[in-house]
């Protein structure tokens, strides 16, 4: 027969063991739940006032810590999803927004670019300079950008339009009103044929897909003298 002191010690040890098991189970559950979580999307997610158009992952594509200078062209990442049973038309433009702050810039035009094309030349060898009537060599033709197509899209029922980095065609904000860098945003207006109220949004400057390289250290920084 155990004494009262012995029984109290056994009861205390049993309670401590139950607490340890409970804490271990709780911790394991938290780890498992965290492991299945996905990283948040960096871009803006919103929708048209009537809910018919979903705007997903809207952002200015990251090009470095210096960003884009005033007057530059900035590519945009964007997905437009038609949630309705009818075709809808979407028009994207840019203009200054009231109370947007100095960190929000606009663009002269928003359009679709398919890449640059070279100005055609009649010379059999475009790489060689040609000469004018006076015999002075003229400068070779320089590549010019193809004009942007209007950012106007017809999206079929339950379909989508996407512009992703690396695509052959890209959505571009041309002629930025100011510098656009990390912490800044681009003002856009999205008009949808199914809604009389335009959608005013700001596309954030994207984040890098990989960490920036570290600066080289000072030679013999950690060596002992």
By the 8 A CB rule, do 180 and 191 touch? no
Q: What tens digit of pLDDT does each residue of 39-81 get?
A: 456 799 999 999 999 999 999 999 999 999 999 999 999 999 9
Host H or E run for residue 209: none
Mean pLDDT is highest, among 27-36, 143-152, 194-203, for 194-203
Q: Is 65 exposed, middle or buried (0-12, 13-18, 19+ CB in 10 A)?
A: exposed
Binned at pLDDT 50, 70 and 90, residue 29 comes out as very low
By the 8 A CB rule, do 192 and 80 touch? no
Closest CA to 191 of 147, 154, 149: 154
Hey, is 118 helix, strand or coil? coil
By the 8 A CB rule, do 183 and 104 touch? no
- Mean pLDDT on 96-110: 91
Binned at pLDDT 50, 70 and 90, residue 5 comes out as low
- Mean pLDDT on 199-225: 71
Alpha-carbon gap, residue 155 to 164, rounded angstroms: 17
Percent of the chain with pLDDT over 70: 61
Q: What tens digit of pLDDT does each residue of 150-203 get?
A: 999 999 999 999 999 999 999 999 999 999 999 999 999 999 999 999 999 999
pLDDT of residue 125: 42
Task: Spell out a b/e string for 119-128, using b for 16 or more CB atoms within 10 Å of the CB, else e.
Answer: eeeeeeeeee
Partner residues linked to 110 by β-bridges: 173
Alpha-carbon gap, residue 150 to 77, rounded angstroms: 16
Alpha-carbon gap, residue 185 to 44, rounded angstroms: 11
Binned at pLDDT 50, 70 and 90, residue 208 comes out as confident
Binned at pLDDT 50, 70 and 90, residue 101 comes out as confident
pLDDT of residue 150: 93
Q: How high is the mean pLDDT of the chain? A: 77
Alpha-carbon gap, residue 122 to 106, rounded angstroms: 39
Domains plus CATH for the chain? 44-115+143-204 (2.60.40.1890)
How does strand 185-192 pair with strand 104-105? Answer: parallel
């Amino acid at each position: 027969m155990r004494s009262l002191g012995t029984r109290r010690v056994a009861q205390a040890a049993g309670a401590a063991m139950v607490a340890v098991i409970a804490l271990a189970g709780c911790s394991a559950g938290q780890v498992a739940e965290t492991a299945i979580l996905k990283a948040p999307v960096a871009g803006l997610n919103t929708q048209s006032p009537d809910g018919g158009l979903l705007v997903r992952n809207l952002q200015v594509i990251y090009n470095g810590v210096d960003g884009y200078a005033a007057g530059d062209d900035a590519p945009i990442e964007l997905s437009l999803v038609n949630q309705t049973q009818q075709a809808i038309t979407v028009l994207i433009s840019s203009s200054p927004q009231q109370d947007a702050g100095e960190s929000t810039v606009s663009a002269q035009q928003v359009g679709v670019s398919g890449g640059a094309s070279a100005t055609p030349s009649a010379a059999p060898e475009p790489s060689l300079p040609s000469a004018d009537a006076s015999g002075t060599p003229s400068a070779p033709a320089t590549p010019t950008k193809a004009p942007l197509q209007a950012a106007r899209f017809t999206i079929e029922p339950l379909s989508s339009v996407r512009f992703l980095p690396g695509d052959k065609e890209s959505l571009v904000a041309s002629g930025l009103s100011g510098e656009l860098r990390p912490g800044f945003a681009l003002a856009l207006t999205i008009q949808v044929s199914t809604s009389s109220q335009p959608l005013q949004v700001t596309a954030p400057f994207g984040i890098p897909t990989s960490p920036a390289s570290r600066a080289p250290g000072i030679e013999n920084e950690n060596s002992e003298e």
